[in-house]
């Protein structure tokens, strides 16, 4: 009996059985790339873009690593790091605003503001910014990009494990609930390559 032939044939059959799933993955990747290219064209033509990242919305295409499944209102991160693909079509000065909220710990409801750290394409050090807990906030980032389509990397040291907070068996480690992303052309950042600011308001829907 030719064991080598049998092994090779079994491997071929195995990979053939995976072909439908692989085809679905390739189609999904192609659709994602097409959506991202469309966003970049819209931003180039209009100078601004406003996208929601909730369930069934096209803005989901901007999500990189570190996010859980989208929900009706938006999407939670999952872990202590996450990323966003920015549909910036060309180098220059751009303003990116992230609209979302920071989860509040049940065990420490009166804790101090949380921290979001961010870096563009992981170039240089991370910028650190405090955000309010349990409030809807607008985190505004003024960027001077050196190349198109940069990645915005986030570090979220305030992430909490939902199982530790009494949220049943939910295994996620969350901190930041993202709702919308706004991108527009802007003037040169006053601080050089990047700066940030935020505004916040209380939102009863978070309770």
Cβ neighbors of 1 (< 8 A, separation 6 or more) are none
**Rounded mean pLDDT of 60-78?**
95
Grouping H, G, I as helix, E, B as strand and the rest as coil, residue 104 is coil
Which residues pair with residue 137 across a beta bridge? 100, 200
Burial 189-199 (b: 16+ CB within 10 A, else e): beeebbbbebe
Q: Residue 10's domain is classified under what CATH number?
A: 2.60.120.260
What's the pLDDT score for residue 205?
A: 40
What's the pLDDT score for residue 189?
A: 53
pLDDT tens-digit map of 164-192: 888 888 999 999 999 999 999 987 655 44
Expressed as residue numbers, the domain containing 37 is 3-206
Domain count of the fold of the chain: 1
In this predicted structure, the answer to whether residue 62 has a pLDDT above a threshold of 70 is: yes
What's the pLDDT score for residue 154?
A: 95
In this prediction, what percent of the chain has a pLDDT beyond 70? 75
In this predicted structure, the answer to whether residue 193 has a pLDDT above a threshold of 80 is: no
- 82: pLDDT confidence band, cut at 50, 70 and 90? very high
């Amino acid at each position: 009996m030719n064991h080598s032939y049998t092994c090779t044939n079994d491997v071929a059959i195995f990979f053939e059985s995976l072909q439908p799933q692989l085809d679905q993955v390739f189609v999904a990747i192609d659709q994602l790339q097409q959506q991202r290219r469309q966003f970049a064209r819209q931003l180039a033509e209009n100078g601004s873009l406003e996208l929601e990242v909730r369930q069934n919305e096209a803005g989901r295409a901007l999500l990189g690593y570190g996010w859980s499944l989208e929900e009706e209102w938006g999407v939670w991160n999952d872990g202590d790091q996450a990323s966003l693909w920015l549909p910036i079509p060309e180098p220059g000065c751009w303003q990116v605003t992230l609209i979302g909220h920071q989860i509040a710990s049940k065990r420490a409801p009166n804790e101090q503001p949380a921290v979001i750290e961010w870096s563009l394409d992981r170039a240089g050090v991370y910028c650190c910014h405090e955000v309010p807990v349990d409030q809807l906030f607008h985190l505004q980032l003024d960027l001077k990009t050196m190349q198109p389509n940069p990645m915005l990397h986030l570090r979220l040291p305030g992430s909490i494990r939902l199982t530790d907070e009494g949220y049943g068996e939910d295994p996620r480690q969350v901190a930041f609930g993202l709702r919308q992303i706004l991108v527009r052309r802007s003037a040169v950042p006053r601080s050089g390559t990047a700066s940030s600011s935020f505004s916040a308001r209380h939102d009863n829907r978070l309770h």
